[in-house]
Amino acid sequence: MSVAALVLAAGRGERLGASVPKAFVLLAGKPLLVHSLEALAESVSLDWLVPVVARADLGRFTSLGDSMNAIQGVTKPVVGGDERQDSVRAGLAALPEDVEWVAVHDAARPLVRPEDVERVIAAARSQGAAILATPVRDTIKRVRDGQIQETPPRAECYAAQTPQVFRVELLRKAVEKAAADGYRGTDDAELVERLGISVTVVEGHGSNLKVTDREDLEIAERLLAQRAAGGELR
């Protein structure tokens, strides 16, 4: 029953305004991708960590050299696609046959806590599919053309994070159906939901932020420093 993580690092991340793609931007002197892989490597349930990188970044990945070799379970990189969903598809196609469960993780979430990775994998194993998510603090509005269309009850609203964990066969089916329908989702669970399959939510931690802009990078630096000092704020 082996479990693999697809670690998605093939995006450009232009909002960060860096000279290198987002996954290779340094946080406390180390690329976001390396942080993410190191955090996942601490999870005892993951057998393989599969980096998914853009073809143009294969050289960059290779030059990580020793820091990559030191991380348990990291495989050769898989070349990603134009959009996140294409990168997931490429990663799934490259998984060895005996992999039964897959945890999809954004390399742009460098601070994921190993205990949360364990919890979401355990939930998927008992329920079939599970994601990390946090309850939202703000009231969410669905807006079109500047006008509110709907206000979903806040107590029912969660912000989806990664890892998102599924049986490999289930995610393959979901991704293939989305491709056949020309449907583009913004996370993996959405594609599984379209099959009418229920996905369990495991409450994650606010520190598992997705680094999108400079401010996020500064917040991540502060969170890392707090962790190093033995404490962590939500």
User: Which residue is nearest to ligand C5P, using beta carbons?
Assistant: 11
Sign of the torsion angle spanned by Cα atoms 159, 39, 85, 58: positive
Q: What is the closest distance, in whole angstroms, from the C-beta atom of residue 165 to ligand C5P in the complex? A: 16
Distance of CA 102 to CAs 18, 63, 148, 159, Å?
30, 27, 37, 21
Q: Residue 86 is encoded by which pair of tokens?
A: 């294409």
Residue with tokens 């998984």: 95
Q: Taking CB under 6 A as the rule, does residue 124 contact ligand C5P? A: no
Q: Is 210 in the site for ligand C5P (CB under 6 A)?
A: yes
Tokens coding 149 = 């269309």
Rounded to whole angstroms, the Cα distance separating 140 from 143 reads 9
In 3D space, the residue among 26, 30, 28, 25 whose CA is nearest the CA of residue 14 turns out to be 25
Applying CB under 6 A, which of residues 35, 84, 89, 113 lies at the interface with ligand C5P?
A: 84
108 interacts with ligand C5P by CB under 6 A: yes
**Closer residue to ligand C5P, CB minimum distance, 42 or 86:** 86
CB 21 within 8 A of CB 57: yes
Is residue 82 at the binding interface for ligand C5P, with CB under 6 A as the rule? yes
Give the interface segment with ligand C5P, choosing from 105-113, 132-140, 171-179, 199-207 (CB under 6 A): 105-113
Q: Which of 127, 199, 197 is nearest to 162 (CA)?
A: 199
Segment 3 to 32, residues that bind ligand C5P, using CB under 6 A:
8-11, 22-23
For ligand C5P (CB under 6 A), the number of binding residues is: 19
Q: Which is nearer to ligand C5P, 15 or 141 (CB)?
A: 15
Contacting positions for ligand C5P (CB under 6 A):
8-11, 22-23, 52, 80-84, 86-87, 106-108, 210, 212
